[in-house]
Each structure stands twice: as structure tokens, then as C-alpha cells.
Chain A
Amino acid sequence: MNEDRLEQQLRQAFDSWEVPAEAKQRTLEVCDRQRKAAQPWEPTSPVAPSGRRRPWRFGGLVGAAVAACLVLGVVFFGVAGSGAFEAAPGNGSVGASSSDEVPAASAPIMASVVPTAYVAIDINPSLELSLDQSDTVVGASGVNQDGWAVLGALDLEGMAYGEALRTLGESQAMAPYLTADSYVQLSITTDDVRQEQGLAAISDEFLATLPCGGFCAAASHAQRQEASAHGMGCGRYQAAQQLMALDSTLTWEDCEQMSLRELRDRLFVLEGGESVAASGQGNGSQGGYGAHGVSGHHGQGAHHGRSHS
């Protein structure tokens, strides 16, 4: 059989594979259940069931009403054209709503400052800071449950980046994770080279104050998104990828449970080194922006292959 005939037969065979309607329906039902379970707060309550207070500056419904009025003002007076504020995607209700009703959690759209940079912090808590052009924190979110737990008692929004890092580093919540044998990676994602360099310098200064090893690297938007899909920051994601390539018995779920230090230790051994613990390596800041890691941008793929729609 020649190659063209083989490919034709394969293609025709693959084309016979259709998604069962019940698979789609079941998936949508699972997502609906998750959405209901993930609704973290009721409109009248300022505190999420998990105990984490939402970042409303003015509190509860008053804050929501003020926010709605601000957005209406932005829309009517054309300030939105300045790009300073932009409704989060998928949501059209903010501008339309002039009531005091808080937007439903299932239709998320509130006015938010659009970040120009993201910094993922990986130890095993994985969390991410969103920053604006002035390196001010405009958002802080957990990438995994431990990350959310660390952020629980902290309010980093409005802080300068360096101040936010120091606050995190000195917090009680982070203390158990910043021990001499830990490892920290900061991964910066931004299209602004100057901002990237500035954030890297601040990150290196912060890492130098820690009792554990760590480094700072650049990450592309694609890497950030892929990592986030696995509940990891870019540092742990890349280490997990490398580790799984060398140890086929490991799964993503296994790696999601490991700290960055554990991932790196196992990788080190599989790559032929002795155990880091035995060798006494890995303590102290390794500094050096971009010394290891994920620098560079991957293309998002200009592929326009076969359409199945």
C-alpha cells in the first residue's frame, strides 16, 4: 500500500469518529455542577465560605454599587477609550446594570485594570501576581489550593511589586514553605521588555533575602496558560514536563502534589546527578535572571489544518 492510499484510508477512518451526544451532555452537566459548587459567595455576604475576604475596597453591596457607577461613568464619558479600564471578557452586564445587584458569579464581569505583567511564584504553593505598568499589584490569585490559602489573610492589591514580595516573604502563611531546603521560582510573563527587566531586578533582590534557593525566569503567555491549566506556575510546570519525559510512570496528578524542590531533586537524580540532599547543593540564592528556565516565546501556531465544524 502506498503512503497516499494509507493516509486516505486513515483520514476516512478518523472521519467516522463522531463525539457521542451523551458525552457532550454529560460534560456540560459536570461543568454546571462545578459552577454551582464554585460559587464562592452570596451577594449579601462580604466573606467567601472559605473565609477569604473578597477584595472589595468599600465592602459588599456598597462597593458593587460604586463600582457599577464608576463603570457607567467610564462608558458615558469615553474614558474607556483610554484603555485604562476594560471589562473582563465574556461579560456584558456591568455597563448595562445600573442596579445595586452584584453580578452573578456565573457571569463574571467587573471592571478591572488590565494587567501588563504576571509573576508566578512557585514553591509548592503556586500563586500569581498581576501587575500594571507601574509594577503595582492589581490582582493576586492562587494557582492551586495552597496558593489561595497563602493569600487568604493578605491584601496585596495596590502594593508596589517589591513591597508585595516582602509582605509575602514575611507572612506567617509563607513561613513554613520558606525553609533552607525549599526552592522558589518566580516566572515573569509580559510583552514589555523594560518592565520585564525591572521586575527581574526586584525579584532577584527579593530572592537574595530568602533562606532558600531560587531563581527568576521569563515565561511566555502560552507557557503561563498551559501551566495554569495544571494548577501550577511555570516553574513547577516546566520541571514536571522534564521529569515526566524521564520517568514515564509519573502523571500530571503526581507532579501537581510535588513542591518545586521535590521536582527538581528528582530531575537532578534522573539526569545523572547524586541526590541534592546528599551532595549539599541547592541552598542559597542562585539569583541570575534567566539562568535557568523557560525564556523565550513559543509561537501560538499558525496552523489552519482541517476543520471539522
Chain B
Amino acid sequence: MLGRTLFLLRDRCDIEQAMDVHGTTVWRVCLACLRSTHDAQDGFQDTFLKYALADDVQFASEEHRKAWLIKVASNRCKDLQRRAWRRDAPLDDPEHMDALAVNDPFALPDSPYRDVLEAFARLDDPPRTPLYLAVGEGYSAPEIAELLGAPVNTVYSWISRGKKQLKEALK
């Protein structure tokens, strides 16, 4: 009897298609979490590499595939954040934050959104990633709880706290 014991990657077309449909979401999750295009590139690459290697995972729908990618991306980005914390100055170090805010392309000096993105980048994470998923992707708190493996009440608190902190910063 033949069984599926092969260890293979998904077709390139499959990966390209996933990237076309959900690449923007994955990129934005990585950028929201890591606040640096350099680190976001690592998170993005690792997420789609995991997708490529998970050739035996079948998705019931595009929404299911999107949710899977978001979970993998947020987990991978947390790892990257923790590794940076252990190795370098903490990301919340003021000097490091200023360098991110000023030099990182996602907070361009001429951008009309510079103020709000700088304020967003200065938030802790959480609430940064949950806030992105709520406002940027339109997920509900129960859906975000499922994606991040957190209690739903905690997610509500994160989103509420994040918005409050942003309003204070943007006064």
C-alpha cells in the first residue's frame, strides 16, 4: 500500500500564488510586529518558507490559508523580536526607537502618516500586532484571539489600550 511519506516542498506556482494573494497581509503583520523593513523581510521569508515546507497541509478556504499564514508570521516575528532582545539593545530603547522612527522607510519623513506611524511604532507589542489585525485587517477580537492564541478578553484590552495610547500620543 502506498502512503504519503515524502518530504517535499510545494510547487513554486503554489507559493507564488499564496504570496500574490496574502503576501501584503503577511508583510504588514511582520512590519507591524518588527517595525523594521530589514527584519520584516526575514519574517516574511521565514513565513513563506514554512508554508512551502508544509506541503501536506490542506486549506479549506483562502481565509483558512490566510489565518494559517498570519499565525506562522506572528509566531516567527515573536521569535525574531526575542532574539533581538537577547542579543542587542532592547527595541524599546529610546535611541534605538528614534533610529527606527527616523531611518526606517515605513516612517518616511515626507509621509502624511508619519506622526501616526511613529506613535504606532512606539507602542509595545502587544498591543501593536493585535491593533494592526483589528484595524488593518478587520479581524474581530474573537478572531484575533484565535490567531494569536490569547484569551478574547485580553485581546479586547490590548486593542482598547493601544487606541488610548495612540490618542494620547497624537494629541
Number of interface residues of B (CB under 8 A): 79
A31 near B79: Cβ-Cβ < 8 Å = no
Asked if B20 is at the interface of the complex by the 8 Å CB criterion, the answer is yes
Residues of B within 8 A of A270 (CB): none
Chain A residue contacts of B86, Cβ below 8 A: 249
Q: Which residue of B lies closest to A225 (CB)?
A: B57
Q: How far is A89 from B52 in the complex, measured between Cα atoms in Å?
A: 14
Cβ contact within 8 Å between B166 and A27? no
Give the distance in Å from the alpha carbon of A193 to the alpha carbon of B23 in the complex: 37
The distance from the CB of B57 to the nearest CB of chain A, in whole angstroms, is: 5
- Asked if B78 is at the interface (CB within 8 A of a chain A CB), the reply is yes
Residues of B within 8 A of A249 (CB): 82, 86
Q: Which of A10, A56, A88 is close to B116, meaning CB atoms less than 8 Å apart?
A: A10
Chain A 217-270 residues near chain B, CB threshold 8 A:
225-226, 228-230, 241, 245, 248-253
Chain B positions within 8 Å of A78 at CB level: none
Q: Scoring A residues 134 to 150 as 1 if CB is less than 8 Å from chain B, else 0, what string do you get?
A: 00111111100000100
Q: State whether the Cβ of A57 lies closer than 8 Å to any Cβ in chain B.
A: yes
CA distance A13 to B111 in the complex (A): 9
Closest Cβ–Cβ distance, residue B139 to chain A (whole Å): 6
Chain A contact-residue range equals: 35 or more
Of the listed stretches A108-116, A167-175, A199-207, A208-216, name the one at the interface; the rest are far from the partner chain.
A108-116
Residue of B5, B54, B60, B146 contacting most chain A CB atoms (<10 Å): B5
Residues of B within 8 A of A17 (CB): 24, 27-28, 31, 106
Interface residues of B (CB under 8 A from A): 1-12, 14-16, 19-21, 23-28, 31-32, 37, 40-41, 44-45, 48-50, 52-58, 60-61, 63-64, 67-68, 71-72, 75-76, 78-79, 82-83, 86, 106, 111, 113, 116-117, 120, 131-132, 135-140, 143, 146-147, 149, 163, 166-167, 170-171
- Give me 7 A-to-B residue pairs in the complex whose CB atoms sit less than 8 angstroms apart, sorted by A's number: A10-B136, A13-B120, A17-B28, A20-B37, A31-B15, A303-B63, A303-B140
Knowing that A18-B24, A28-B19 touch, tell me 16 more A-B residue pairs with CB under 8 angstroms: A12-B113, A13-B116, A23-B44, A32-B12, A34-B9, A38-B8, A40-B7, A107-B11, A137-B3, A228-B54, A228-B57, A230-B75, A245-B149, A249-B86, A252-B79, A303-B63
